[in-house]
């Protein structure tokens, strides 16, 4: 079974803090993704990565950065957390396009609250 794990289920931070959200997958997947999910808005793509040290902006990258130093690990960084970044953050991974039907496997999510 594919396993995508996220470092924290719940996180509370203060405005201005630097926040790291970690995601690890154990299926040797090429692609990894970070989404945020807000009520009434659905899932929105923040950043994704096709390979180690590669990153691409998604639909809402402002205020975020990412790091992919190892294939299995993809980190989301909030350089200076703000209250409007309070959200559920979901990590996902899948194999390179063309090899499979691109199903993305999601982690359990991190509920981040910024005070």
Partner 1 sequence: KNQVEQSPQSLIILEGKNCTLQCNYTVSPFSNLRWYKQDTGRGPVSLTIMTFSENTKSNGRYTATLDADTKQSSLHITASQLSDSASYICVVITYGNNRLAFGKGNQVVVIP
Does residue number 12 form part of the binding site for partner 1 (CB under 8 A)? no
Does residue number 87 form part of the binding site for partner 1 (CB under 8 A)? no
Minimum distance, C-beta of residue 56 to partner 1, in the bound complex (Å): 10
Does residue number 109 form part of the binding site for partner 1 (CB under 8 A)? yes
Cα distance between residue 36 and residue 21, in whole Å? 12
- Which of 45, 61, 67, 72 touches partner 1 by CB under 8 A? 45
Give the CA angle between residues 108, 66, 87 to the nearest 5°.
45
Does residue number 97 form part of the binding site for partner 1 (CB under 8 A)? yes
Which residue lies nearer to partner 1 by CB, 4 or 66?
4
The DSSP-derived string for 73-104 is EEEEEESS--GGG-EEEEEEEEPPBTTB--PP
Which residue lies nearer to partner 1 by CB, 83 or 102?
102
Minimum distance, C-beta of residue 101 to partner 1, in the bound complex (Å): 5
Minimum distance, C-beta of residue 33 to partner 1, in the bound complex (Å): 9
* φ, ψ of residue 50 in degrees (nearest 5): -95, -10
Minimum distance, C-beta of residue 42 to partner 1, in the bound complex (Å): 4
Cα distance between residue 48 and residue 107, in whole Å? 15
Exposed/middle/buried for 88, CB within 10 Å: 0-12, 13-18, 19+? middle
């Amino acid at each position: 079974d594919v396993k995508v794990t996220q470092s924290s289920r719940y996180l509370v931070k203060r405005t201005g803090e630097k926040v790291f959200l970690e995601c690890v997958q154990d299926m040797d997947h090429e692609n990894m993704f970070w989404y945020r999910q807000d009520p009434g808005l659905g899932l929105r793509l923040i950043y994704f990565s096709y390979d180690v040290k590669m990153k691409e902006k998604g639909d809402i990258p402002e205020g975020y950065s990412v790091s992919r130093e190892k294939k299995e690990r993809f980190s989301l960084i909030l350089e200076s957390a703000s209250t409007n970044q309070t959200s559920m953050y979901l990590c996902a991974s899948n194999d390179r396009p063309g090899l499979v039907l691109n199903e993305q496997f999601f982690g359990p999510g991190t509920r981040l609250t910024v005070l």
